[in-house]
Amino acid sequence: MNEQLNEAPCGYLTLSEEDDILSVNQTFKLLGYNLDQLQGQPINFILSASAILFHQLYLVPLIKLENQIEEIYISLKSVDDEEIPMLLNAVQRERDGRTIIECVVIPMRKRNELENELLIAKKEAETALNARNKAYADLEIAHETMKMQKNKLIELNEKNEKYKVDTERELGLAKKIQQTLLPVPIINEHLEIQAYYKGSNQLSGDIYGFYQIDAKRYGLILLDVMGHGLSSALITMSLHSIFERLILKGSEVKTVMKELDDHLHSLFKNTSKSSHYCTAVYLLIDTDKREINYINAGHPSVLLQDINGKQYELRSNRPPLGMFEDIIFKTNTLTYNKESMLCLYTDGVEEPIGSDRLCSLLKTYSAAPLSTLKEEVIQSLRYEEDTLQRKDDQCLILVKLK
């Protein structure tokens, strides 16, 4: 690294495609590390807990998509675990036959200092105006000082407005990424699966998936992460990558739930100030044996209706994921007959119309196409929205077992 870049008044580092630190400049001493301590470490070594999530679930997909990142706020962790706010710019390049990521970070501590300077300047100006006996020259100096600080404030407001616009754009991109995770309906000779989803915010804390594992087995999962917005959405996307891999591999129901539970605990193991839990239900359907293996972890009951219209509830048999450590997950098993139906939903569906209404719709439209039943549930939700303010994400999965 040349001397000018090494001594630059901003942080400079390069990352490998695997997110390992290849090089850093002298400015990174502000974190309290020796430079040889950082080289070869994963980038997570100097990221705060929230920044690790943000980096893995947003920055990595974004730089792969656009090859660059401009003016992103992120916090780095010093050797004393102090979070230092930074403004990040990065670009992905090919160099010497391999892909590297060049990053520039600028500390943002001066922002608070500037705001304090503005308050001090205002107080000085008011004192000068109220002191009639002060010389005109002193008043003029105070006026000029006020003018300079006002210009700085205008500049800061313009930057904040740009940050707001950029954030909205980035949230829109994150929403598109989240929507690509949702599966398409499945219709074949064994079963039919239809789904409905509507988020209460731009980003959702609900996530679901259904997959054909092999010729006879299908996996259905539905999760509802505590809260809404960006933090919950980032957690759902991290959970999605885990359950999709495990389900398609044909893992046992208890294995899927145990790994999701462990993942939630690992996200917040280094902090006692924040944690998230989620309700979840996973069903493994074997259409050859006509058997369902499931675990319900604090989620609303799954409705099962047989060909005669008799209904059963697959109730919660474990606490929500991420709430208690070392939970033992026990799988429940039941059999079903032809033309049975399943209804999975989040509390955003249950609270407006009630489980009784869902049971009634399931019986009334048991002989109708599954798409008709789905539309009737949606219409019931819309009717309730005319009088009640919807505050939660809505997610519904309907299954016809042929």
User: Residue 95 belongs to a domain with what CATH number?
Assistant: 3.30.450.20
Q: Do 118 and 30 belong to one domain? A: no
Q: Do 12 and 72 belong to one domain? A: yes
pLDDT value for 243: 96
Q: How many domains does the chain have?
A: 3
Q: Is the pTM of this model over 0.85?
A: no
The range of the structural domain enclosing residue 315 comes to 182-401
Q: Do 121 and 41 belong to one domain? A: no
Q: Do 136 and 264 belong to one domain? A: no
Q: What is the pLDDT of residues 112-137, one digit of tens each?
A: 566 677 778 778 877 877 777 677 77
pLDDT value for 130: 73
**CA distances in angstroms from 95 to 12, 40, 49, 60, 91, listed in the order given:** 17, 18, 31, 19, 12
Q: Do 43 and 186 belong to one domain? A: no
Q: Do 210 and 165 belong to one domain? A: no
pLDDT value for 171: 57
Q: Assess whether pLDDT exceeds 70 at residue 270.
A: no
Q: Do 57 and 158 belong to one domain? A: no
Q: Assess whether pLDDT exceeds 80 at residue 194.
A: yes
Q: How confident is the model at residue 178 (pLDDT cuts 50, 70, 90)?
A: low
Q: Do 213 and 154 belong to one domain? A: no
Query: Which of 73-82, 140-149, 320-329, 355-364 is predicted with the least confidence, judged by mean pLDDT?
Result: 140-149
Query: Which of 55-69, 168-182, 249-263, 387-401 is predicted with the least confidence, judged by mean pLDDT?
Result: 168-182
Q: How confident is the model at residue 232 (pLDDT cuts 50, 70, 90)?
A: confident
**Last residue of one domain, picked from the residues 74, 107, 140:** 107
Q: Do 353 and 209 belong to one domain? A: yes
**Last residue of one domain, picked from the residues 175, 191, 216:** 175
User: Residue 302 belongs to a domain with what CATH number?
Assistant: 3.60.40.10
pLDDT value for 390: 56
Mean pLDDT of the chain: 87
**Last residue of one domain, picked from the residues 148, 175, 202:** 175
Q: How confident is the model at residue 300 (pLDDT cuts 50, 70, 90)?
A: very high
